[in-house]
Amino acid sequence: MRIPLFGTGVASGQKQVTVRKTVGMYWERRGETEKAPMVAVPFPGWVEVSAMPISSPIRGLAADWDQVERRLIVVCGTKVYLVKVAVNPVVATEIGTMESTLGPVQIAPGPDDDFLITDGVNSYFWDGTTFTKLDEAFASCTWIGGYWVAARSGWNTGIFYISADGTTWTDLATAEASPDGLRNVIATRNELFLLGHSSIEVWSHTGDADFPFARVNGATSSLGSAGARSAALVGGVLHFVAQSESGRPFVARMNGYTPERVSTDDVDRLLGALYSINPIVDAVGFVWNGHPMLVLTQPSVPWSIYFDTQTGLWGFVTDGTASALAMCVEFGSEVYAAKREPITGSMLYRLDEDAHSLPARRIITDHVVSPDGERFTVDSLRLDMATNMDAAEKSVSLKVSRDGGLSWGATQSVGLGTTSGPQKKAEFRRLGRARSFTFDLTFPTDVPLTVHSASLNASD
């Protein structure tokens, strides 16, 4: 009897529906002829790249793409740095100072050494030599087709400006799908997505001499963006925390010009609880081993969740710790990150599948119920796993619930050192008799353990 280790649910308080949860692992689909249709793989941990010269929080992170030597643009407190990460030790060069000390920033790198920075209060431009404060107050910025694009700060303004040189901001237009303020301007491919409080519209890059962008007819939506930090490109596709007319948040992605919901009812309940506490959610996107990942974090809760756009499954990166990814940037084959720390910090990280820094790896299964609803006996639960490291002293732990996840029995542990080679098996015996079984499995965090399958030996 095969048990379902995967599903679309994410535990959100509806225990009679699901307590299903994956923490610190994600799922890979396998072929129909393979041992199991889904395999649980460790979510990448993070390794320290370098501490910044000052211990203020990192507020912004971007790649300086036009460099032969790999560099990041990092805003740390009020200071702006160009950071060489291809050398050891990492070299951080201060290039400018901002006036604001708190809050996130957006960075729009240009094709050369120049870039634009906005923080909702002030704006700054680096031309490769000089760091200059601009007269304009912008809330969001991006770069597309030879122009910087920036949205004016303010709740009720849909005005956005363009500039070819980053310092002259006289050309402007207005997003007119709804009289709401712009929260995000995001460029992807040859199109500009303008996300407001209650509307979305798309403009294309036409190259017209009078104004090089034009609204795409029919490419509007009555959905809005739920926050200035809650949108990200994931594998080149725009994902964002949307809000309906009632204000309830959910996660959507753009399918062409149409937003489609990708969050589940369970995820929406989690988001609703988040926004009742603090309507600030950080969205970051990156591709890991062919899996485009969206990660959502918030400073008020001790967990972060991910959406794997390849499998369509949700899970937890961390659960029970406030240390989570607040920003990421893909740079070549690497993903660099800054974390939301429980204390003030300014450390740069790099995602690494061989790093064992995640605090937990855990799978809570779906409820296993007999087809006729009668009581049945579980004689054993067997796990098939693999690792490329010595796991002789490691063990897997199990707790069993027989009432749908309302209560749990004592913890059992089985060592992984009984099988030589990379293949590992763990078997838990005499698990009792009930009408429903739910299994809470905890795996070691310091070995890259892949879970291939799980099976029950059950009887009437």
Position 67 in a domain = no
Position 75 in a domain = no
Report the pLDDT value the prediction gives residue 67, as an integer from 0 to 100. Answer: 56
**Residue 245 · residue 199 · CB < 8 Å:** no
Give phi and psi for 343, each to the nearest 5.
-125, 170
Give phi and psi for 276, each to the nearest 5.
-75, -20
The residue range of the domain holding 379 is 21-43+362-459
- Bridge partners of 219, per DSSP, are none
Tell me the CATH number at 395: 2.60.120.430
Position 416 in a domain = yes
Provide the token pair at 22: 């994956």
Position 375 in a domain = yes
CA quadruple 300, 347, 126, 332: dihedral positive or negative? negative
Query: Residues with Cβ < 8 Å from 129, sequence gap 6 or more?
Result: none
Exposure b/e, 131-161, CB count within 10 A at least 16 = b = eeebeeebbbbbbbbebbbbbbbeeebbebb
Position 125 in a domain = no
Residue bearing tokens 């307590």: 19
C-alpha span between 114 and 127 (Å, rounded): 4
Report the pLDDT value the prediction gives residue 239, as an integer from 0 to 100. Answer: 97
**Strand segments (E) across 309-375:** 313-319, 324-331, 334-340, 347-352, 361-364, 368-369
Provide the token pair at 128: 């490769």
Count Cα neighbours of 44 within 13 Å in the Cβ-side half-sphere: 20
Report the pLDDT value the prediction gives residue 346, as an integer from 0 to 100. Answer: 81
Tens place of pLDDT for every residue, the chain, 460 residues?
A: 667 666 666 777 667 677 888 999 999 988 766 667 788 999 999 899 988 888 888 889 999 865 567 799 999 989 999 999 888 888 999 999 999 887 789 999 998 889 999 998 899 999 999 999 999 889 899 999 999 999 987 656 789 999 999 999 999 999 877 778 888 999 998 999 999 888 899 999 999 989 999 999 989 998 888 888 899 999 999 999 998 777 789 999 999 999 999 998 889 888 888 777 777 888 999 999 999 999 998 877 778 899 999 999 999 998 877 667 788 898 878 999 987 654 456 889 999 988 888 889 999 988 888 878 889 999 999 998 888 777 778 899 999 999 888 899 999 999 886 555 677 888 999 999 999 999 999 999 988 889 988 888 888 8
Total-model pTM: 0.92
C-alpha span between 65 and 286 (Å, rounded): 16
Position 422 in a domain = yes
Q: How many domains does the chain have?
A: 1
Beta strand 131-133 with 21-23 is: unpaired
What amino acid is encoded at 139 in this protein? A
Concatenate the DSSP letters of all residues of 185-243 into one string.
EEEETTEEEEEESS-EEEEEE---SS-SEEEEEEEEES-EES-TT-EEEETTEEEEEEE
Q: Maximum distance among all alpha carbons in the chain?
A: 77
Which residue pairs, CB below 8 angstroms and at least 24 apart, start in 71-77? 72/329, 72/331, 72/336, 72/348, 73/107, 73/109, 73/115, 74/348, 75/105, 75/107, 75/117, 76/52, 76/346, 77/101, 77/346
Residue 354 has a CB neighbour count (10 Å cut-off) of: 11
Position 397 in a domain = yes
Residue bearing tokens 């007999």: 370
Count Cα neighbours of 85 within 13 Å in the Cβ-side half-sphere: 30
Closest CA to 324 of 303, 345, 343: 303
Residue 263 has a CB neighbour count (10 Å cut-off) of: 22
Position 446 in a domain = yes
Residue bearing tokens 């303008």: 194
Count Cα neighbours of 136 within 13 Å in the Cβ-side half-sphere: 26
Tell me the C-alpha to C-alpha distance, in Å, between residue 22 and each of 26, 28, 38, 282, 317.
7, 13, 13, 20, 8
**Strand segments (E) across 6-130:** 21-23, 25-29, 38-42, 45-51, 58-63, 71-76, 79-84, 91-97, 106-109, 115-118, 123-126
